[in-house]
Amino acid sequence: MASPRTAWGIDIGNRALKAVKLVRSGDGVRVDDFEFIEHETILSQAGDNRDELIKKSIAEFMVRKGTRGSAVAIGVSGQTSFARFIKLPPVEPKRIPEIVRFEAIQQIPFPLEDVEWSYQLFNKPDDPEVEVGIFAMRKELVNAQVKLYTDVNLDVQAVQTLPLAVYNAVQFDNRLGETVAMIIDVGAETTDLIIGNDHSIWHRSIPIGGNNFTEVLTKAFKITTAKAEELKRDAQSSKYMRQIFSAMRPVFADLVAEIQRSVGFYGSVNRGSKIEKIIALGGTFRLPALPKYLEQNLQLPVERPDTFAAGMPADTKVAAAMTENILSLHGAYGLALQAMEEAKITSSLLPASIRREKMWKEKTKWFATAAALVGVGALVGFGRYFLEDISYSRNQGVRDENARVLSEAQTRASDYNNIAGGGADDRARIANLRALNEGAALWSDILIDIAKALPTPSPALAKALEAGDADAIKALPRGQRQLFRIEQLRSEYVTDINDAGQYAAALGRLNAGTSSPMPGMPSSPGGSFTPGGPAFTGEFNEFGPAMGVPQPSEAPVEGVIGTQQRGFVVSMRLITPYEQAEEFADNQIKAALASIMPTEARPKLRYRVERVEVLQSLRIEQDASYRARLIADHAARIAAESSLTGDGSQPQQGGGWQGGAAGSEFDPFNPGRSEFGPGFSPEFNPNPQPNDPALTQEEAVRAALQDPITGEDQSQDFIIDLVFRIAIDPPAFTPPMPAEGTGESTEGTGESTEGNPQ
């Protein structure tokens, strides 16, 4: 079939229809025209009206340009299609289709009869290793896309995913060669990341696009989407430039983090392949700060193409308009190249029914000539039949040998498939065993960082505490001692700490105390202050260090929205004698915990603390349940000691209070209650030795509230309850973005945004 003389490539994006026309010129092609038609409404906000908006844009394109006599190639989103790149074993070229089909059955997550699929081979000259790209899309999605064009009689010759179309455009323009480049094409909803050179390609879609930048501006400045889009386009010349870039910084950081994650995965499967440069495409790259930000954080030079190798339209006005939009036109340009049969990648997802129809039309023009020759052919064929019948009989031996070779080849192919698929269970078992050690130190590191967030005693006080020197400790008034003990620490693992429902449910379980205690960790409220850091005497759920931590994915998951964040909801109770504990916790401790995150000094830290809140702050005398627990533990401790008198005498049966239990109505801190609660004996002997004077219950309670080292009353000490979240595997540390034109960070400028554009 002869190559077409003219072709259109049409890319329908979220914001506009983009089209590029190529014409044959000598042995090459040149750009003859282009079109850029914005939809009446952004497609992502159109809901059920999406197809109608697309039809209107296509109809307007047909009115403006028409495509009579031109081939058409259309693009489909990389997110709605499937792509896999695999290396084939050394085989004869004629066996490649058979092996590729076998791999397609294994790789494509749908039955082959439910998808349109195709493949493309990549290999270097004189290199026996062959890489194949397998591409697929569900039939109903392809048919729905193609119908939008065929309904207006467009001659659709090819259907290609936009990442591959962009690769075709950049490769045709000689921007790759042997150099491995990273093409970053930022669309409205997604960013296509394409890594490759003239002989290989790898790509994935990142769920961050231009709409994310628009959305943060809408929220930051409380303006409409249309106004935010305009503000984004004109950011460089706006007097609010610093505020605009400051508002967009989180999206910059998220995009860089996703790119770094993808590059890391690419490097793990393509060892020895080094990315040399970045080619920046998409209308969002009209923001000058974005290329500079990528260049600084990825340490790679960034190119922004400003022309096509196929030239520009002869009409100067059309050429000027095309130059202004050129960063958004590479998908349409690559599609037109494929329609003109000038593209590197020729695979197509055009439905098989349409391909057969086109082939039939191509053959129809030859039918008349064939009919005229039928008469002559019949006579010649009749005589030839006898000659060929004789020759066929003579070659029976050759046919038998061919059948034998084919049978042997099929047997060997079956053996190869069995060997290639064997050992899968063993490999999975090995991977699971290796994963057991992953994250083993996570909780121990978290506990160390939490301990470091609490204040450290002065050297003199720390020495006195270590020696148990009560007089030296009491030299500093109790209310001035900045000593904080972690009384209780509970955690609950959730799949998304940003989900309000999961957070509320986890917090409810923590408050109810239903989390499982960590093996080997006591839950008693006793214990002394530990110099250099608190003693951990709390409780942990089953995801504590003794039970293992959920492991990160081995590879990036394609198409997952990046806002979900797994981690822990943590509640922590502190006990302190410090008189200024409430203010200290609300300021210094909260700030110290919130600073636990990946930083320039610890860029690979696997966790970060977020949203620290002080739930309550009260004195021990105000917390009846905690006092009851202290009293019960003291009674149990005395009872245990009384069972070992040391003089051979028998312990008093049922030592401790007679007839009462911790948590009953007796309350020495409530002056309106009687001295003794109902059911209590007026006498209590904490250590029933012969001739020892008995203690009253009130004295016993006071003894339970004494500091075990200094003997001071602890009833005025503070209980501080905090809750916070720990994100696991948060985005990697990203250095602050420099202010445009200054090279300095705008971090912490405190610049007011009053008078923001409305």
Question: Are 442 and 596 within 8 A, CB to CB?
Answer: no
Instruction: Lowest mean pLDDT of 310-319, 553-562, 591-600, name the range.
Output: 553-562
Which of 411, 400, 355 is closest to 118 using CA atoms? 355
Q: CA-based diameter of the chain, in Å?
A: 137
**Residue 373's pLDDT is what?**
58
pLDDT band at 178; cut points 50, 70, 90? confident
Residue 186 CA to residue 284 CA, distance in Å, equals 6
Residue range of the domain that includes 415? 367-419
Q: Which pLDDT score is estimated for 546?
A: 30
Asked if residue 507 has pLDDT above 80, the reply is: yes
3-state secondary structure at position 443: helix
Q: How many other C-beta atoms can be found within 10 angstroms of the C-beta atom of residue 511?
A: 13
> Residue 663: its pLDDT value, please?
35
H runs (alpha helix) in 222-240: 225-233
- Confirm whether 60 is domain-assigned: no
* pLDDT (mean) for 2-16: 88
The pLDDT of residue 541 is 36
CA geometry: angle at 514 spanning 509 and 517, to 5°? Answer: 125
pLDDT of 30 over the 90 cut:
yes
Pair of tokens at residue 588: 């210094």
Number of domains in the chain: 3
So what's the pLDDT on residue 595?
Answer: 92
- Distance in angstroms (rounded) separating the CA atoms of residues 506 and 509: 5
Domain assignment present for residue 406? The answer is: yes
Q: Which of 378, 404, 419 is a domain's end point?
A: 419
pLDDT digits (tens, 9 = 90+) for 417-457: 777 666 767 777 787 777 677 677 888 889 999 999 998 88
Q: Check residue 167 and give its pLDDT.
A: 95
Mean pLDDT computed over 479-508: 89
Is 453 found in the same domain as 410?
Answer: no
Cα angle: 682, vertex 683, 685; to 5 degrees? 155
Same domain, yes or no, for 413 and 460? Answer: no
Percent of the chain with pLDDT strictly greater than 70: 76
The answer to whether the beta carbons of residues 576 and 485 sit under 8 Å apart is yes
pLDDT at 65 over 90: no
Rounded Cα distance, 199 and 176, in Å: 9
Residue 186 pLDDT greater than 70, yes or no: yes
222, part of any domain: yes
Averaged over 273-283, what is the pLDDT? Answer: 91
Mean pLDDT of the chain: 78
Q: Which residue has the tokens 């397998």?
A: 134
pLDDT score for 266: 87
Q: Phi and psi (nearest 5°) for 548?
A: 95, 155
Token duo for residue 220? 């930051």
User: Is residue 690 a part of any domain in this protein?
Assistant: no
Both 602 and 506 in one domain: the answer is yes
The 3-state DSSP class for residue 162 equals: helix
Q: Quick one: pLDDT at residue 552?
A: 34
Pair 456, 554 in one domain: yes
Q: What proportion of the chain, given as a percentage, has pLDDT over 90?
A: 27
State the pLDDT at residue 402. 85
- pLDDT value of position 644: 54
Q: Do 389 and 473 share a domain, yes or no?
A: no
Q: Do 193 and 291 lie in a common domain?
A: yes
DSSP notation for 366-420: THHHHHHHHHHHHHHHHHHHHHHHHHHHHTHHHHHHHHHHHHHHHHHHHHHHHHH
In a domain, 592, yes or no: yes
State residue 85 phi and psi, 5-degree precision. -120, 120
Local confidence band at 580 (pLDDT 50, 70, 90 cut-offs): very high
* pLDDT attached to residue 47: 82
- The answer on pLDDT for 641 being more than 70 is no
CA 330/CA 316 separation, integer angstroms: 20
Q: What is the CATH number of the domain that holds 199?
A: 3.30.420.40
Check whether 361 has a pLDDT greater than 50.
yes
Question: What is the rounded distance in angstroms from the CA atom of residue 337 to the CA atom of residue 308?
Answer: 12
Asked if the model's pLDDT at residue 693 lies above 60, the reply is no
* Lowest-confidence region among 328-332, 455-459, 472-476, 657-661: 657-661
Tokens, residue 749: 């400028």
Residue 11's pLDDT is 94
First to last CA, the chain: 58
Q: What is the crossing angle of helices 241-269 and 225-233, to 10°?
A: 80
For residue 407, the number of C-alpha atoms closer than 13 Å in the C-beta half-sphere is: 6
Identify the helix (H) or strand (E) that includes residue 632. Answer: helix 624-642
Q: Encoding tokens for residue 159?
A: 């259907």
* Within a domain: 327: no
Residue 697 is which amino acid?
Q
Q: Is the pLDDT of residue 33 over 80?
A: yes
Same domain, 470 and 570: yes
The pair of structure tokens assigned to 364 is 């129809």
Comparing 158-162, 341-345, 532-536, the range with the smallest average pLDDT is: 532-536
Q: Is residue 49 part of a domain?
A: no
Q: What is the mean pLDDT of residues 650-673?
A: 36
Q: Are residues 251 and 400 in the same domain?
A: no
Residues 216, 370: Cα–Cα separation, whole Å: 67
pLDDT of residue 544: 36
Mean pLDDT of 677-702: 47
| 31 domain-assigned | no
- Check residue 58 and give its pLDDT: 93
Rg of the chain over CA atoms, in angstroms?
A: 37
| 211 and 263 part of one domain | yes
Q: Which residue has the higher pLDDT, 700 or 460?
A: 460
Q: How many CB atoms lie within 10 A of CB 404?
A: 10
Pair 404, 460 in one domain: no
Q: What is the pLDDT of residue 666?
A: 36
**Residue 508: phi, psi to the nearest 5?**
-65, -40
Per-residue pLDDT tens over the stretch 219-240? 888 888 888 888 887 777 778 7
Closest CA to 102 of 88, 116, 114: 88
Residues 604 and 457 in one domain: yes
Angle at 216 between CA 210 and CA 222, to 5 degrees: 130
CA distances from 693 to 599, 645, 659 (A): 61, 16, 20
CA pair distance 596, 460, nearest whole angstrom: 28
pLDDT above 60 (res 740) = no
| Distance, CA of 270 to CA of 256 (rounded, Å) | 20
Give Cα 27 to chain centroid, integer Å.
46
Same domain, 411 and 495: no
Q: Which residue, among 596, 595, 620, 617, has the nearest Cα to 606 in the 3D structure?
A: 596
What are the pLDDT digits (tens) for 207-217? 888 888 888 88
**Does 691 score more than 90 pLDDT?**
no
